[in-house]
């Protein structure tokens, strides 16, 4: 899901221009709340910048308030400027998300192609109890659909549970849950992964070394994700745990169930984020009401930490990072990921709460946030494409490009709609189309072509 944190949905559109016109005169009131204030200050900066650029004095503000037609013209002009700013940053945001998604997919594909362990069938998760080892196609299809239904219901239940907990402010519970799940991911799954990689390359390693490596990796990971750490290290850890989670899914989900689950999850994502009573939408709205960021630790954040000239940066930053890490573990606790992470948030991390000068505004970086669930399911799709028995790389490449294009389109829609958007549907749809068509249509074509090269 993609959201813009700083605009709550409905009432702000007409107000923004007015309040920002007025706040061009007077600086906004310092406040601990980053949500609305941040948007107004941001737009105030935008307008102030524009006004300075076009040499309009702030006195005009009062005059134009009086005349409606001027305000209307201004509103459209301001909207255009706002759009242009969004678009200018838009391409940059797209690339800021391309890189981690690409890295995660590369890690997953590299592992799938080299480590046999993740393509061997060694049982299934309890969430997909029906086996696909049936003699008839119909039976197999039925089993995969049943598996999907069970898996999706588990995910729905977990998401609703999370939303309920969040609504009733059971932060400690969520917090504990998240710590437990990320602990398991960072230590147990990494240990298994390391073991399998060493087995594949026939490298011997003694236990003390393993303990040292895993301990350091896990401890630093826990600190980075749940407390403080350099942004890039945190991003790297989030990418790694997404990749590990995706590998678990790829290993334990049977073939057809995986594809049906991918399809069903994108539909669920669409519903959960866009419907008024969807759990994820309620989560976003609750967080916006309370002016808290939505579980930033469950979410990959590409935002630059903005510390230039902030009056009270630390308290704001700390306050947010405290809440951010609560929700993350909850998701990883289960093999099924809850969908609070299928979100992309566009917010600024620690929002300044004091008047910002123009120079600081120039250096501002608006970040885009993408939920870890999106990373995981993108990687599951590409990994499953890479794990096909035919061993074809074209399919993997096609799915990879399809997902990136879907992400690009989703971000474009985010720039247009400026509200919470599901990140899964478009990418997964493209990915599925490209996977099935490349596997069944392009592969025979290209294979025959390689016997007689060329094009």
Partner 1 sequence: MTLAVFFGCTFIAFGPAFSLFLFTIARDPLRIIILIAGSVWGWGPWATSGHRAFFWLVSLLLSSLIWFIAVKASDPHDEPLQKGLLIFGVMFSVLLQEAFRFLYYKLLRKAIEGLVALSEDGCSPISIQQMAYVAGVGFGLMSGAFSMINLLADALGPGTVGIHGDSQLYFLTSAFMTMVLIFLHTFWGILFFHGCENRRWWEIVAVVVMHLAVSGSTFCNPLYVGSLVPSYVLMAIAAVWAYMLSGGSVQNLRRFLLCAQSEASPQPAS
**Site for partner 1, rule CB under 8 A:** 80-81, 83-84, 87-88, 91-92, 94-95, 98, 391-394, 397-398, 401-402, 404-405, 408, 434, 437-438, 440-442, 444-446, 448-450, 452-455
Is 125 or 398 the residue whose CB approaches partner 1 more closely?
A: 398
CA separation for the pair 218, 107 (Å, rounded): 18
Using the minimum distance from each CB to partner 1, give the nearer residue, 159 or 438: 438
- Residue 370: which of 300, 424, 323, 288 has the closest Cα? 300
CA dist., res. 362 & res. 366, Å (int):
11
Nearest by Cα to 301 from 335, 332, 345, 337: 345
Report residue 334 as tokens: 């289960």
Residue 411: CB minimum distance to partner 1, A = 10
Q: How far is the CB of 50 from partner 1 (least distance, A)?
A: 9
Please identify, using beta-carbon distances, which residue of 157 and 401 lies nearer to partner 1: 401
Smallest Cα–Cα separation from 40: which of 20, 24, 22? 20
**CB 78 → partner 1: shortest distance, Å?**
13
| Of 247 and 399, CB closest to partner 1 | 399
| Minimum separation from the CB atom of position 77 to partner 1 (A) | 11
- Which of the 8 DSSP states describes residue 241? H
Residue indicated by tokens 């242009």: 84
State the nearest-atom distance from the C-beta of 441 to partner 1, in Å: 4
Q: Which is nearer to partner 1, 92 or 121 (CB)?
A: 92
Burial of 389 (0-12, 13-18, 19+ CB in 10 A): exposed
Tokens 């490449």 correspond to what residue? Answer: 397
Cα distance between residue 100 and residue 238, in whole Å: 9
Q: Which residues are catalytic?
A: 269, 374
Tokens of 437: 């068509």
């Amino acid at each position: 899901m993609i959201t813009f944190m700083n605009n709550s949905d409905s009432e702000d559109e007409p107000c923004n221009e007015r309040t920002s016109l007025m706040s061009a005169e007077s600086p906004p009131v310092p406040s601990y709340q980053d949500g609305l204030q941040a948007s107004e200050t941001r737009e105030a900066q935008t307008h102030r910048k524009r006004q300075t650029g076009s040499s309009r004095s702030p006195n005009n503000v009062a005059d134009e308030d009086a005349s409606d037609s001027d305000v209307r013209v201004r509103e459209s002009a301001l909207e255009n400027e706002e759009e242009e700013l969004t678009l200018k940053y838009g391409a940059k945001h797209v690339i800021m998300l391309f890189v981690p998604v690409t890295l995660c997919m590369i890690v997953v594909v590299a592992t799938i192609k080299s480590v046999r362990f993740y393509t061997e069938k060694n049982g299934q998760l309890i969430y997909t109890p029906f086996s696909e080892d049936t003699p008839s196609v119909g039976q197999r299809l039925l089993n995969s659909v049943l598996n999907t239904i069970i898996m999706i219901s588990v995910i729905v239940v977990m998401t609703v549970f999370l939303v309920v907990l969040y609504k009733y402010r059971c932060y400690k519970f969520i917090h504990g849950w998240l710590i437990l799940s990320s602990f398991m991911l960072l230590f147990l799954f990494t240990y298994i992964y390391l073991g399998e990689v060493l087995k594949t390359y026939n490298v011997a390693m003694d236990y003390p070394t393993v303990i040292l490596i895993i301990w350091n990796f896990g401890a630093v990971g826990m600190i980075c994700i749940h407390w403080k750490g350099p942004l890039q290290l945190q991003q790297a850890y989030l990418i790694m745990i997404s990749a590990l989670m995706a590998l678990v899914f790829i290993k334990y989900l049977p073939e057809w169930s995986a594809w049906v689950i991918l399809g069903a999850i994108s539909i669920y994502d669409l519903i959960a984020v866009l419907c008024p009573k969807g759990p994820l939408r309620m989560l976003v709205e609750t967080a916006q009401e309370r002016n808290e960021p939505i579980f930033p630790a469950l979410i990959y954040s590409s935002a630059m930490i903005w510390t230039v000239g902030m009056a009270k940066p630390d308290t704001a930053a700390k306050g947010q990072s405290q809440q951010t890490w609560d929700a993350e573990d909850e998701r990883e606790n289960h093999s099924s990921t809850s969908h609070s992470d299928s979100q992309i948030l566009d917010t600024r991390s620690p929002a300044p709460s004091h008047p910002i000068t123009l120079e600081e505004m120039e250096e501002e970086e608006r970040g885009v946030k993408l939920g870890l669930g999106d990373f995981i399911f993108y990687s599951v799709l590409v990994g499953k494409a890479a794990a096909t028995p035919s061993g074809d790389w074209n399919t993997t490449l096609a799915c990879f490009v399809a997902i990136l294009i879907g992400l690009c389109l989703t971000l474009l829609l985010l720039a247009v709609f400026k509200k919470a958007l599901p990140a899964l549907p478009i990418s997964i749809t493209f990915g599925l189309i490209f996977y099935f068509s490349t596997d069944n249509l392009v592969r025979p074509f290209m294979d025959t072509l390689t016997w007689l090269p060329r094009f």
